[in-house]
Structure 1
Amino acid sequence: MRTRLEFRGERSETAPLAWGQRSIWLAMCRTMPSDHYFNFGRVVTIAPHPQRVVLEALAALVARHESLRTRLREADGDVHQAVERSGVLEVEVVECPAADLRRTAEDMLERLAAPVFDYHAEWPVRIGLVTCDGDVRSVVIVFCHLAADGHGADVAVRDLRLLLRRGALPGPPPRQPLDLAREQSSPAGLRVSSSALAFWEREYRRIAPSMFGAPAGPPRRPRFWRAAMTSPAMGTAVQVISGRYRVSQTTVLLAGAAAMVGEVTGHRTCAMLPVVNNRFHVRDREVVTPLAQDGLFVLDLTDETFESLLRSAWASSLRAYKHTRFDPLELRRVVDAVSAERGETVHPYCCFNDQRLVEPPRIVAAEHDEAAVRASLDETRVTWPVKLDQLNCRFCLHVTDEPAGLGISLTADTAYLPPEAMEGYLRGLERLLLAAAYREVRLAELPRLVGTASA
C-alpha cells in the first residue's frame, strides 16, 4: 500500500548548481542510461512508532534539508537546482512479521534503488516504511546522488532519529546548497576555484594521458564488471601499517593502490582521482548535499621501499585534498585546453573512493600474530555483484567496511582490465599490504610478490 507524505519548508528558489552537485551531475550524464548506478540508500531500524509519528518526522526532515525537495530545472541553457517550498511524496508501506523485518527492508531498499530517478519531475528521495503489527519498525530511504553524498545521507538519518526521539531539532537549519552556490560564485569562491584549477593544469601537463590507455582485448558484455573482495587479513594489515607510520588508513590504501596500478600498467607516475568529501570546515559538516569532488593524486613511483612511498603518498594526498574545491565546468575547459595542447585526451580514468566515514583505531604489529593474520587469508572472498553497460571510468576502486572484513571493490572496463586481471589486482594489493605490515618491502619485489599481469 501507499500513503502520502506532505511537507512544507521555508523557501522556494532556483539557482545554479553548486560545485558538488555539478560534479555528480556530469558523472551521471556520462553514465546514462546506467545512472541508477549512483542511487544509494539507508535502512533505518527504529523502535516501534505509529505511522503518523514517523510521517511527521519525515516531513520535518524534508523541510529542514532543502536538497531533499530539490529538482532540476532548465534555465539559461543549463540545468539549475529548483528548491520547492512544499509538495507530496508517495511512501510505500509494507507489513511483515517481526522475524522478516530485516529481509523485507533490504528487499525494499533494493527495489526502490533500482530505477533511474527522473531528475526534473521526481523528488530526489524515495521512502518506504516497514511495519510490524501496525507500527513502523524500519524506514527505508533511497537518495538520488544529486540530493546527498554518503556523509550527507548519514546526517539525514541522524536527524530523523533525533526527530523521532525529541519531536524537533534545536537551533537553526544547516547551510543549504543554495547558500553554497552563492558563496562559490562570489569573488572569494572564484579565487578558491582558480587556485585549484592551476594545480590541476600543472599536473595534467606532466602525467600520462591515461593510466589505462591501451585496450587489452575485446570487452565483455556487459562491458563494465565489478569485483568485490572482502578481506579480514587486509583490514588488519592496513591498521598495522597506519599505526606504525602514523598516517591514515586511506593514505596506506592510496599508496598501495597506486603502486599496484604502476605494476599493472608499467607507468612510473600514477595519477588517481580520489573522491574527497570536502567537509573540512565545521560549517559544512551538517550540509545534506553532494559536497564531494575529485582530487588529483599524483605519485611518482620512484621510491625504493613501500615505507618511503608511503611518506611520499602522504604529501601527495595533502596536495590533492587542498585543491578539491573548483567549478567543474571550468575544470573541463582546462582539461580540454591541455588535451588540445598535447594532441590527445588527458584523463587518468583511475578513481579511488574510500567510503568509510570512521576509521577503526590504529594498532601496532605486536598486537597481532602474523601467522594468525596470514591464516585469515582463507576467509578472503571475491564476488562479482555488478555488471553495467555504461560507466564514466575505466578503473574505480571503492573501500568499505563490511561485517566480514575490509571491503575493496574494483569496477573496471573489461576492455582495459579483463575480469581475471581485476581479481589479480585485488589479490595482489592484499599480498602487498600484508607483506608491508610485517617487514620492509622493496618495490622491486612487486612483480614476484603480487604476480600481476600487465594490462
Structure 2
Amino acid sequence: MRLAFEGERSGTAPLAWGQRSIWIAMCRTMPSDHYFNFGRVLAVAPHPPPAVLDALAALIARHESLRTRLRQVGGDVHQAVERSGVLEVEVVDSPAADLERNAQDMLERLAAPVFDYYAEWPVRVGLVTCDGDVRSVVIVFCHLAADGLGADVAVRELRLLLRRGSVPGPPPRQPLDLAREQQSPAGGRVSSSALAFWEREYRRIPPSMFGAPAGPPLRPRFWRAAMTSRAMETAVRVISGRHRVSGTTVLLAGAAAMVGEVTGHRTCAMLPVVNNRFHVRDREVVTPLAQDGLFVLDLADDTFEGLLRSAWASSLRAYKHTRFDPLELRRMVESVSAERGATVHPHCCFNDQRFVERARVEPAEHDEAAIRSLLGETTVTWPVKLDQLNCRFCLHVTDGPGGLGVSLTADTAFLPPEAMEGYLRGFERLLVEAACREVRLAELPDLAAMAAT
C-alpha cells in the first residue's frame, strides 16, 4: 500500500545538535546501528485503511523530521527536508485473537534492518487489519527523526488525527529552524557555556570508568543483561519519597556507587541522556533533542543518604549543561586528552527511559520484610548480543508490568557476563537495603556478595 504525503516546504541545513549527537553515536556503532531503531504500536478503533493513510499523511506533513533524509554538502552531513514523497506501507491481515501478537511481530520485523539514511524515509509504517479495517498502526522510527519523547508526541497526534481529523494549534518548531537558531551567535554562547563546564570536569575525572580490560572479549563482543525487579521498583519509590528527590536521582546515585565499587574509582563520571525538553516550546518537537549530560559524583560520603544529597546537586549541574555543539565537544575532548596524555571519555552511559516521573514525590509506606521478599522474584535474561557498540557500559531503565526494567549493555572485554549480572544484582541489593535502613558505603562489598548468593 502506498502513502503519499505533501508538506509546506523543503530545505537543507546542517544537523541540529541533537541530530548530530545521535548521528555520531550511530556512526560509531555501524554496522550494528539497527540498535538505535525503535518503534511504537498504536491500537485503534476500526478504521478503513484510506482514513488511516490520510491521518499518517497529515502527521508527516506536520513534522518535517518525518520526511528528512541525509545529504552530503561540502564534505559534511546535512539534513534535507523533502516537501513531498511516497512511503510504502506494509499491511498484514490478522484474526482478532492475534492482533497484538501480529502487531508486535511486525514491529520487530520493521525495526530489524538498518535504515538507509540517504535514500530511505526515516519512518517505516505497517498496518494490521481485521475484517478489512485497520486495528493497529505500527511505526518504526529512525533515531535521526525522533527521540523517545518525540515519538510519543507523534503517536499522540496520530491518535488525535484519527479521532478528530486535526491536531489543535500550529505545528511546533522544526529541525531546520532549530539548526539555524543553534548556529546563531546566541546559540554559540549557549554551547560555549555548557562546554566550559564539561572541560572543567574532563580535567579531573578518570580518563575512563572502564579503562583496563578484564580479559579477551567474547563473540559477539557486546552483551545485554536485562533485569526485571519489583524489589527495585518498590525501593526506588520508598527512597524517593523519603528524601524528596526524583527516582532518577536515586537510580543515578546507586548506579554511580556500584560503578565505583566495580572499578575502584572514587570519582564516578556518567553520561545520562537528558531530554532537553525543559522549555515549553520544545515539548512537542518531533526530532532528537536529547543529548548527553555529564554527571560527576565524588564517592566521598559515608552513607548512601549523604551520597543521595550529593547526587541531587550533581544531577542539576549535569542537566544545566546539555545543550552544546557535539563537534565542538569533540574538539575539546581531543585537546584535553592530548594535554592529559590519555583519551578522556567516561564510556559509562545512563538512560532513564521511563515515560512518567512524578513531579511531586510523596512518602511511600513500606514493609521491610515485604520489600526484601520481592528479591526472589527478580529475573535476569540475555536478550541482545552485538558485534559493535559505541560504549563500554550502557545502563537503561524502563517501566514494565513485572517491575522496573534495568538493562546493562556492556563490552565483555571490560565486564564479562558474570560481572554484568553481579553489577545488576548488587545495584538492586543496594537500593533495597537503602529503602529499609541506613546503608554505609563501606558495606558495598558485602552487599554485592549478598546479591551473588
* TM over 0.5, shorter chain: yes
CA distance in 2, matches of 1:66, 1:23: 19
Q: Deviations over 1:99-154 (max 9, x none)?
A: 00000000000000000000000000000000000000000000000000000000
Identity %: 85
CA distance in 1, matches of 2:272, 2:126: 33
Shift of 1:450: 1.6
**2:293 counterpart residue number:** 295
Shift of 1:363: 4.8
Q: Find out whether 1:44 has 2:42 as its counterpart.
A: yes
1:47-196 to 2 correspondences below 5 Å = 47-196=45-194
CA distance in 2, matches of 1:374, 1:363: 21
CA distance in 2, matches of 1:245, 1:182: 42
**1:405 counterpart residue number:** 403
Shift of 1:169: 1.5
CA distance in 2, matches of 1:444, 1:48: 59
Change (3 A) 1:81 1:193: same
CA distance in 2, matches of 1:375, 1:304: 27
1:34-433 to 2 correspondences below 5 Å = 34-359=32-357, 362-365=361-364, 367-433=365-431
SS of alignment partner, residue 228 of structure 1? strand
SS of alignment partner, residue 251 of structure 1? helix
Contact 2:87-2:121 at 8 Å conserved across structures: yes
SS of alignment partner, residue 364 of structure 1? coil
Q: How many residues align?
A: 450
With normalisation by structure 2, the TM-score equals: 0.98
Contact 2:267-2:297 at 8 Å conserved across structures: yes
Shift of 1:172: 1.1
Q: Find out whether 1:33 has 2:31 as its counterpart.
A: yes
CA distance in 2, matches of 1:285, 1:76: 32
Q: Deviations over 1:145-164 (max 9, x none)?
A: 00000000000000000000
SS of alignment partner, residue 451 of structure 1? helix
Contact 1:421-1:452 at 8 Å conserved across structures: no
CA distance in 2, matches of 1:218, 1:10: 54
- Name the amino acid aligned to 2:363: V
CA distance in 2, matches of 1:34, 1:414: 16
SS of alignment partner, residue 20 of structure 2? helix
CA distance in 1, matches of 2:63, 2:96: 32
- Name the amino acid aligned to 2:147: D
CA distance in 2, matches of 1:347, 1:168: 46
Shift of 1:368: 2.2
1:3-18 to 2 correspondences below 5 Å = 3-18=1-16
Contact 1:264-1:452 at 8 Å conserved across structures: no
SS of alignment partner, residue 296 of structure 2? strand
Q: Deviations over 1:391-440 (max 9, x none)?
A: 00000000000110000000000000000000000000000000000111
SS of alignment partner, residue 317 of structure 2? helix
Q: Deviations over 1:320-348 (max 9, x none)?
A: 00000000000000000000001110000
Shift of 1:302: 0.4
Shift of 1:364: 3.1
CA distance in 1, matches of 2:350, 2:68: 28
Shift of 1:170: 2.1
Contact 1:254-1:313 at 8 Å conserved across structures: yes
- Name the amino acid aligned to 1:267: H
Contact 1:306-1:442 at 8 Å conserved across structures: yes
Shift of 1:98: 0.4
Contact 2:18-2:288 at 8 Å conserved across structures: yes
CA distance in 2, matches of 1:451, 1:339: 36
Contact 1:49-1:136 at 8 Å conserved across structures: yes
With normalisation by structure 1, the TM-score equals: 0.98
Shift of 1:185: 0.6
SS of alignment partner, residue 396 of structure 1? strand
Shift of 1:207: 0.5
CA distance in 1, matches of 2:222, 2:32: 11
Contact 2:245-2:361 at 8 Å conserved across structures: no
CA distance in 2, matches of 1:452, 1:57: 54
- Name the amino acid aligned to 1:318: L
After superposing on structure 2, the runs of 4+ consecutive aligned residues of structure 1 that deviate more than 6 Å are none
Q: Deviations over 1:283-312 (max 9, x none)?
A: 000000000000000000000000010000
- Name the amino acid aligned to 2:50: R
- Name the amino acid aligned to 1:433: L
Q: Deviations over 1:36-59 (max 9, x none)?
A: 000000010000000010000000
Contact 2:5-2:61 at 8 Å conserved across structures: yes
CA distance in 1, matches of 2:407, 2:287: 25
Give the unaligned 5+ runs of structure 1.
none
Q: Deviations over 1:337-371 (max 9, x none)?
A: 00000111000000000001202674535x22221
- Name the amino acid aligned to 2:130: C
**1:22 counterpart residue number:** 20
- Name the amino acid aligned to 2:21: S
SS of alignment partner, residue 402 of structure 1? coil
CA distance in 2, matches of 1:168, 1:209: 51
CA distance in 1, matches of 2:108, 2:447: 39
